[in-house]
Amino acid sequence: MTRIIAIANQKGGVGKTTTTINLGAGLAERGRSVLLIDLDPQASLTLALGTQPAPAEAEPATRTRAATAYDVLLRSSRGQAEPFAGAIQPTASGLWLTPASIELSAAEIDLVREPLGVFALRDCLDTVPDRFDYVLLDCPPSLGILTANALAAASGVIIPLQADYLALRGVDLLLNTIAKMQKRANPNLAVLAILLTLADLRTVHAREVIAAAHATFGERVPVLEAVVPFSVRVKEAPLAQASVLEYASDSPAAAAYRKLAEFVDP
């Protein structure tokens, strides 16, 4: 059975997209087949992994664009068959991608207007081909309808948390939203883990924040021992259209993401 995992945190820049790619890569190293769905209208996941568009002169005038997460959600809410048709693309990393586009912000408006718009994604995920072991949902930096769609569809959520004092403060809001979702829409949803990211481990501040995360959330949610350090290698990897597991395979960041993959897929 395909396992659906959302990577969520309403704060931007905390490592959601990076975690989506590198958890995906870690699962792929473990022999799993993984589909990543970009639910952020800013499309960072798509840009980091997406296949380069063909050079303009090589494009036939009638070139049709690839289907995106926007099309999938729209087709699903219209009850169309095969919502994922044309929306699952191979990437250089061996991961599969349902790309995003800026149109996703239009989907947000449509889905909010629709009475059961929160279930558009859940309704169509069972049409994802069986060969996928995992579907990872890269959420946008908000608690709007797209994140709600991800939380309604997933069986687990991973919360990347920047090892920064102010970042800790948003987690309660997210955990409350998840609790509401569990109660009202998705009793199967479990918080799998909090993953500390972007940690400058040379600083006392980062170590204090890590200790505070364990103290504050550790009883409610597993806070992973593996911490993703701040590393320029992580920033560079998307330029090479690679995961950090490929780009800097021996780096501590790659090791932390391998630990996360092992935790998810023991």
Q: What does the per-residue mask of binding to ligand ADP show for 1-40, with x meaning CB under 6 A?
A: -----------xxxxxxx----------------------
Sheet-wide strand order for 156-162: 89-90, 96-98, 34-38, 134-138, 3-7, 156-162, 190-197
CB of 192 to Mg ion, least distance (A): 18
Output the smallest distance, CB 171 to Mg ion, in A: 17
Q: Residue 100: which of 155, 138, 143 has the closest Cα? A: 138
Structure tokens at 7: 């990577």
CB 107 within 8 A of CB 144: no
**Contact between 170 and ligand ADP per CB under 6 A:** no
Q: Is 20 in the site for Mg ion (CB under 5 A)?
A: no
Parallel/antiparallel/unpaired status of strands 156-162 and 3-7:
parallel
Nearest approach, Cβ of residue 59 and ligand ADP (Å): 29
Q: Regarding beta strands 134-138 and 3-7, do their DSSP bridges make them parallel or antiparallel, or are they unpaired?
A: parallel
196 or 221: whose CB is closer to ligand ADP?
196
Residue 75 touching Mg ion (CB under 5 A):
no
Length of the chain as a residue count = 266
What letter represents residue 64's amino acid? T
Which residues inside 32-51 make contact with Mg ion, applying CB under 5 A? 44
The alpha carbon of residue 134 and the mean position of all alpha carbons in its chain are separated, in whole angstroms, by: 12
Q: What's the rounded Cα separation, in Å, for the pair 136 and 97?
A: 10
Residue 253 interacting partner from Mg ion, ligand ADP, none (CB closer than 5 to 8 Å by kind): ligand ADP
- Of positions 128, 189, 253, 261, contacts ligand ADP by CB under 6 A: 253
Regarding 141 and contact with ligand ADP (CB under 6 A), the answer is yes
Q: Which is nearer to ligand ADP, 12 or 86 (CB)?
A: 12
For Mg ion, give the closer residue by CB, 142 or 249.
142
Q: Which of 197, 213, 221, 258 binds ligand ADP (CB under 6 A)?
A: 197
Q: Distance between CA 41 and CA 69 in Å, rounded?
A: 9
Query: Does 22 help bind Mg ion (rule: CB under 5 A)?
Result: no
86 is a site residue for ligand ADP (CB under 6 A): no
E-assigned strand segments in 123-177: 134-138, 156-162
Name the residue nearer to ligand ADP (CB basis): 95 or 124: 95
Cα gap 162→197, rounded to integer Å: 5
Interface with Mg ion (CB under 5 A)? 16-17, 44
Interface with ligand ADP (CB under 6 A)? 12-18, 44, 141, 197-198, 228, 230-231, 234-235, 253
